[in-house]
């Protein structure tokens, strides 16, 4: 189970300034972000490749540089990066070119493109991408770079002022997330992620396979991502996938598409105290997305008579 983490305030501020300038330069006016306008502004090219078609990939790799090395001198370089590391998008700085995997569902292209756009505009990413092949970057460095590109991609696609105004007009639920997704022209997955990381309250976002059919694919992670709001980090840092799956299995319908239901579930915080969350899940057939909103700590109760309980 992979968990999100938050960047330092200084890093976020640096990224915010760059993204805000992009919004100003394309004259953003509370509409859906047009990434073609962003590419034109930044003089970026967009091409597609197919990770499922080696022959096509072989046709294009001779044209590019990766990590400062021309792949013509090492034809296996780009193919190794794409296939062995399961990359779905990449930015080639020498060509100012973003490449997206055409085999990926189109709903994911927009997020991947925004992620690579951020790689292209952060000056400290540019120097690293020229100086190091992605396979030689330390794990910690690579994780940091990806987190920065994810944060910037979210800021780019969900301009903060507009996004928070839209979110504040809804009571948080998967129904609300779907409406916000449609209104801002972004995928439901990226919308749920953005809601959780941007709101001040205690929220959880859960992404993974259908909780009722885990036995059909035991090799898969029961939860791919656990997204926690900043307010949830210090209190719910030790949540287990078992506890989350058990909660979702208590209310999720067995159907494989659309709303799966909702329910009030109990989760323990890091000190062992029980808290109530309203869980709400939706299946897009590829994965199940869940939003869990904190309702408060559950009252303890003691039996003081044979049929009377008193909350304390």
Position 312 in a domain: no
Half-sphere exposure at residue 282, Cβ-oriented, CA atoms within 13 angstroms = 15
Same domain, 11 and 150: yes
pLDDT of residue 56: 47
pLDDT along the chain (312 residues), means of 10: 91 97 95 95 85 52 47 51 57 76 80 92 71 47 84 96 94 96 95 95 97 92 95 93 97 97 97 96 95 90 45 40
What is the Cα–Cα distance from 12 to 195, expressed in whole angstroms? 17
pLDDT of residue 130: 42
What is the Cα–Cα distance from 168 to 176, expressed in whole angstroms? 10
Position 189 in a domain: no
236, 202 in Cβ contact below 8 A? Answer: yes
What is the Cα–Cα distance from 181 to 282, expressed in whole angstroms? 13
Q: Order of strands, edge to edge, in the sheet holding 89-92?
A: 45-49, 97-101, 89-92
Distances (CA, A) of 237 to 7, 140, 227, 231, 295: 16, 20, 11, 11, 18
Position 104 in a domain: yes
Position 177 in a domain: no
pLDDT of residue 260: 98
What secondary structure does DSSP assign to 62-123, as a single string?
A: GG-EETTEEGGGSTHHHHIIIIITT-SEEEEGGGTEEEEETTS-GGGHHHHHHHHHHHHH-H
Pick from 292, 263, 260, 285: nearest CA to 195: 292
pLDDT of residue 103: 75
pLDDT of residue 82: 53
Same domain, 216 and 138: no
Of the candidates 98, 131, 157, which is a domain's last residue?
Answer: 157
Position 58 in a domain: yes
pLDDT of residue 68: 47
pLDDT of residue 300: 61
Same domain, 149 and 205: no
Of the candidates 101, 123, 157, which is a domain's last residue?
Answer: 157
What is the Cα–Cα distance from 2 to 155, expressed in whole angstroms? 21
Same domain, 93 and 231: no
Distance between start and end Cα atoms, the chain: 35
Position 174 in a domain: no
What is the Cα–Cα distance from 188 to 141, expressed in whole angstroms? 28
Q: Give me the phi and psi of 37, to 5 degrees please.
A: -65, -40
Provide the number of structural domains found in the chain. 2
92, 67 in Cβ contact below 8 A? Answer: no
249, 211 in Cβ contact below 8 A? Answer: yes
Same domain, 124 and 207: no
Same domain, 112 and 209: no
Of the candidates 106, 124, 157, which is a domain's last residue?
Answer: 157
Residues contacting 193, CB < 8 A, separation 6+: 4, 154, 205, 227
pLDDT of residue 88: 65
Same domain, 71 and 148: yes
Same domain, 137 and 208: no
Residues contacting 84, CB < 8 A, separation 6+: none
Same domain, 72 and 149: yes
Same domain, 115 and 233: no
pLDDT of residue 52: 60
Position 194 in a domain: no
pLDDT of residue 287: 94
Considering all CA atoms of the chain, what is the largest pairwise distance in Å, rounded to the nearest integer? 82
Q: Which residues of 54-91 are buried (b: 16+ CB within 10 A; e: fewer)?
A: eeebeeebeebbbbeeebeeeeebbbbbbeeeebbbbb
For 163, the enclosing helix (H) or strand (E) is helix 160-168
Range of the domain at 281: 200-301
Tokens of 289: 């997305």
pLDDT of residue 219: 85
pLDDT of residue 239: 95
Same domain, 26 and 104: yes
CATH number, position 283? 3.30.450
Same domain, 26 and 144: yes
**pTM for the predicted model, two decimal places:** 0.82
pLDDT of residue 132: 41
Position 113 in a domain: yes
């Amino acid at each position: 189970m992979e968990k999100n983490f938050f960047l330092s305030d200084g890093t976020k501020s640096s990224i915010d300034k760059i993204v805000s300038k992009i919004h100003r330069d394309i004259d953003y006016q509370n509409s859906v972000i047009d990434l073609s306008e962003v590419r034109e502004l930044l003089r970026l090219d967009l091409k597609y490749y197919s990770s499922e078609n080696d022959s096509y990939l072989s046709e294009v790799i001779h044209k590019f540089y990766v990590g400062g090395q021309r792949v013509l001198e090492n034809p296996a370089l780009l193919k190794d990066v794409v296939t062995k590391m399961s990359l779905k998008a990449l930015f080639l700085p020498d060509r100012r070119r973003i490449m997206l995997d055409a085999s990926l569902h189109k709903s994911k292209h927009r997020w991947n493109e925004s992620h690579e756009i951020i790689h292209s505009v952060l000056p400290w990413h540019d120097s690293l991408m020229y100086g190091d092949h992605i396979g030689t970057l330390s794990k910690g460095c690579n994780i940091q770079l990806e987190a920065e590109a994810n944060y910037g991609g979210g800021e780019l696609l969900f301009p903060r002022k507009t996004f928070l105004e839209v979110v504040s007009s809804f009571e948080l639920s998967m129904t609300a997330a779907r409406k916000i997704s449609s209104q801002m022209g972004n995928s439901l997955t990226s919308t749920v992620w953005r809601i959780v990381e941007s709101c001040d309250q205690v929220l959880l976002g859960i992404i993974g396979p259908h909780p009722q059919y885990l036995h059909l694919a035991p090799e898969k992670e029961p939860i791919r991502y656990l997204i926690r709001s900043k307010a949830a980090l210090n209190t719910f840092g030790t949540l287990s996938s078992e506890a989350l799956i058990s909660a979702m299995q208590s209310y999720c319908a067995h159907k494989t598409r659309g709303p799966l239901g909702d329910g009030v579930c109990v989760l323990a915080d890091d000190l062992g105290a029980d808290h109530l969350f309203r869980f709400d899940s939706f299946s897009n057939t590829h994965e199940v997305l869940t939003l869990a909103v904190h309702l408060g700590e559950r009252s303890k109760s003691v039996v003081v008579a044979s049929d009377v309980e008193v909350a304390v």
